[in-house]
Amino acid sequence: MTSENADSKAVLRREAFARRRALPPEIRDRFTVRLIDEGLRLARLWRPSAVSAFHPIRDEPDALALLGALADKGFMTALPVVAGRGSHLIFRLWRPGDPTVIGAMGIVEPLDAAPPVEPDLLFVPLACFDRGGHRIGYGAGYYDRSIERLRAMKTVHAVGVAYGVCEVHAVPYEAHDQRLDAIVTEQETIFADER
């Protein structure tokens, strides 16, 4: 990654985090309800064998409620596990109520005893996004490596989960950055256009 791209991504990430932090609680609550509805709709559309979402950190939207709704409808659900720096994520079967541990990155993860699974629908956290399906995450590349690996094996849909205030005009990206198929916000579902 060029230092210019890294610098501009860092600025966009910082600004998006500030906008996200400023959101009132009622928008967060409303988004949880919309995410459940829209996540179920997309799962019915794409019929995945397994669905992954994320345990929210900081001010991220609550994807756990979506996982609960998906599990209740019979979908196999999973959470990611960070295996180590520079690696791809390992996805382990999990549904709300299953035991968890705090992982190496300080994020809640399923136990090592939970069976691994290769999801083909991933609900992905992000800092900011554009309508071309490009995202800025937290800078470690775990999701890019994981989505690339999964897409080399089968058809995979990656859906960003973000508040509308996290949209930017254009995300600087490079060849290794994986595009999202869609982004779900509290206001709309954006299917990525070609950029």
Residue 123: helix, strand or coil by DSSP? strand
Q: What beta strand segments (E) does 35-129 contain?
A: 51-52, 77-82, 89-93, 100-102, 108-110, 121-125, 128-129
Q: Which candidate, 167, 191, 83, 179, places its Cα nearest to that of 124?
A: 179
Residue 51: helix, strand or coil by DSSP? strand
Average pLDDT, whole number, for the chain?
A: 92
Task: Find out whether 81 and 91 touch, Cβ atoms under 8 Å.
Answer: yes
- Over range 97-120, report the average pLDDT: 94
- Per CATH, the homologous superfamily of domain 3-191 is NagB/RpiA/CoA transferase-like (3.40.50.10420)
Question: Is pLDDT at 175 greater than 70 in this prediction?
Answer: yes
pLDDT over 70 percentage in the chain: 96
pLDDT in tens, 25-69: 999 999 999 999 999 999 999 999 999 999 998 889 999 999 999
Place of tokens 């994020």: 107
CA distances, 97 to each of 43, 93, 110, 153, 180 (Å): 21, 12, 11, 30, 29
In this prediction the pTM is: 0.93
pLDDT band per the 50, 70, 90 thresholds, residue 1: very low
Question: Is pLDDT at 195 greater than 60 in this prediction?
Answer: no
pLDDT band per the 50, 70, 90 thresholds, residue 115: very high
